[in-house]
Amino acid sequence: MTLDISILIASVLASSPPILFAVLGETITEKAGVINLSLDGSMLLTALVGFVVALHTGSVLLGFCGAMAVGALIAWMIAFVSITLHQPQVATGFVLTLLSRDLAYVLGNPYAHVPGPQVSHTPIPGLFDLPIVGPILFDQNPVVYLSLLAIFLVWVYVDKTRPGLNLQGLGERPAAAFVRGVNVTVMRYVYTLVGGALVGLGGASFSLMVKPGWARPYGIEGTGWIALAIVIFGGWQPIRAGLGAYFFVALQTAASLLQSVMPNIPTQLFSTLPFPLMILTLLLVTLGNAEWTNRVLNHLPEGMRRFLIRTLKALRTVPPASLGAIFRKE
């Protein structure tokens, strides 16, 4: 079997926008101190909305807008119930996960296997025939270009601008941000909505690009949970989270390649392979926080201990200090 490595990388880039946008959106939301747990349901519902709007209006762009609006609406519900009404955030997110999933299945029933529009392939003239980088970066569609740009833009905004620093303050020390004159409640709403809209963008890029159309089961189920885990793996850093998303899609691609090499093994097994990996990677990034690891490491020989401590430290991630906590002005 011969494989062109650049085609392989290109296909990873082409199938990663759904999870990538969701990861970036959730990173922004959680940076502001809010957990939007609903990703697995809201990606499904926004995927349906994106497809249906595009089908009826004939405009893929309107499809994306509709999906982003619905993603923001679900996020608004979480913000309203948790920030304004002080109800448990995780409970609200969990209920909305199931509710949006079931709504998508019920409302999507008439649209199953209906052919519809999709994002058109748009090679960039003059660049797409370059060797190696051409097929990878410039022979894609606008959504893929946007997804690559989005990682960079979110990183610059969060880490390099003043509003971005204020955003980090919302999740780390909301009381301090409040004293500096930041309206914590309003800004948390804003970033939850922005994050939700990005999740919607992810959902629509699945139904209008990766797997055009609608069906039950649709093939995006479980992706939302993976995205939430990648946010943790990414340590709430846009670049690291983006790389995590690519790493995950690369694993999926590798699994489907393995499947064609080993036809005796049931296909369903390969599709669940990412989940044990998800637990393992989470274990790797959180082990450094557990107190017993240091105790055990102390018994190891000096060289090995230093290496392990360094590795765990490099992998270790720490959530925003006020993640999920309700802020009250006293």
Partner 1 sequence: MNPLEAKALNNWESHPSFVVRVFAILLALVFSAFVLLILGTSPLDAFALILSGAFGSLAKLAYVMTAWAPVLLCSAGLLVTFAAGVWNIGIEGQIIMGAVFATGLLQLLQDSLSPAAILVLAAFAGFMGGALWGMLAGALKLYGNVNEIFGGLGLNFIAGSLTVYLVLGPWKRPGIGSTSGTQPFPPSLWLPAFNGFQVSPIEVLLGLVAMALVTLALRGTHFGLKLRAIGKNLRAAFLKGIPLNQYMLLAFGLCGGLAGLAGWVLVVGTSARHNLFPLISSGYGFLAILVVLLTNLSALWSVPISFFFAVISMGSLQLALQRQLDSSLGGVIQGMLVLLVLVAKGFQSRILSRRER
Cβ closest to partner 1, residue 127 vs residue 325: 325
> Rule CB under 8 A: is residue 87 a binding residue for partner 1?
yes
> Rule CB under 8 A: is residue 286 a binding residue for partner 1?
yes
Which of residues 8, 62, 69, 107 is near partner 1 by CB under 8 A? 107
SS3 290: coil
Tokens linked to 294? 């240091």
Cβ closest to partner 1, residue 104 vs residue 198: 104
Give the span between the Cα atoms of 201 and 207, in whole angstroms.
10
Which of residues 283, 294, 304, 310 is near partner 1 by CB under 8 A? 283
> Rule CB under 8 A: is residue 263 a binding residue for partner 1?
no
> Rule CB under 8 A: is residue 269 a binding residue for partner 1?
yes
Q: How far is the CB of 36 from partner 1 (least distance, A)?
A: 13
Question: Of 246, 218, 237, nearest to 320 (Cα)?
Answer: 237
> Rule CB under 8 A: is residue 275 a binding residue for partner 1?
yes
Which of residues 165, 290, 300, 304 is near partner 1 by CB under 8 A? 290
Judged by phi (left if over 0) then psi (alpha if -120 to 50, else beta), residue 126 lies in left
CA–chain centroid gap for 20, Å, is 5
Asked whether 239 and 102 are in contact (CB, 8 A), the reply is: no
Give the span between the Cα atoms of 193 and 188, in whole angstroms.
9
Question: Of 171, 217, 175, nearest to 191 (Cα)?
Answer: 171
Q: How far is the CB of 191 from partner 1 (least distance, A)?
A: 18
> Rule CB under 8 A: is residue 228 a binding residue for partner 1?
yes
Number of residues that bind partner 1 (CB under 8 A): 52
In the range 8-67, which residues lie near partner 1 by CB under 8 A? 37
Q: What angle do CA 3, 125, 55 make, to 5 degrees?
A: 80
Q: How far is the CB of 263 from partner 1 (least distance, A)?
A: 13
Q: What is the x/- site pattern for partner 1, positions 56-85, by CB under 8 A?
A: ---------------------x---x--xx
Torsion of CA 231, 34, 37, 66, to 10 degrees: -100
Tokens linked to 251? 């694993």
Question: Of 186, 206, 190, nearest to 64 (Cα)?
Answer: 206
Which of residues 211, 216, 240, 305 is near partner 1 by CB under 8 A? 216
Cβ closest to partner 1, residue 216 vs residue 305: 216
| Selected range binding partner 1 among 17-25, 98-106, 183-191, 250-258, rule: CB under 8 A | 98-106
| Selected range binding partner 1 among 15-23, 128-136, 220-228, 236-244, rule: CB under 8 A | 220-228
Q: Quote the DSSP letter at residue 128.
A: T
In the range 154-213, which residues lie near partner 1 by CB under 8 A? none
Give the span between the Cα atoms of 277 and 275, in whole angstroms.
5
Tell the burial category of 240 from Cβ atoms under 10 Å away from its Cβ (0-12, 13-18, 19+).
middle
- Chain residues binding partner 1 by CB under 8 A are 37, 77, 81, 84-92, 94-96, 98-99, 101-103, 105-110, 216, 222, 225, 228-229, 232, 266, 268-269, 271-273, 275-276, 278-279, 282-283, 286-287, 289-290, 292, 324-326
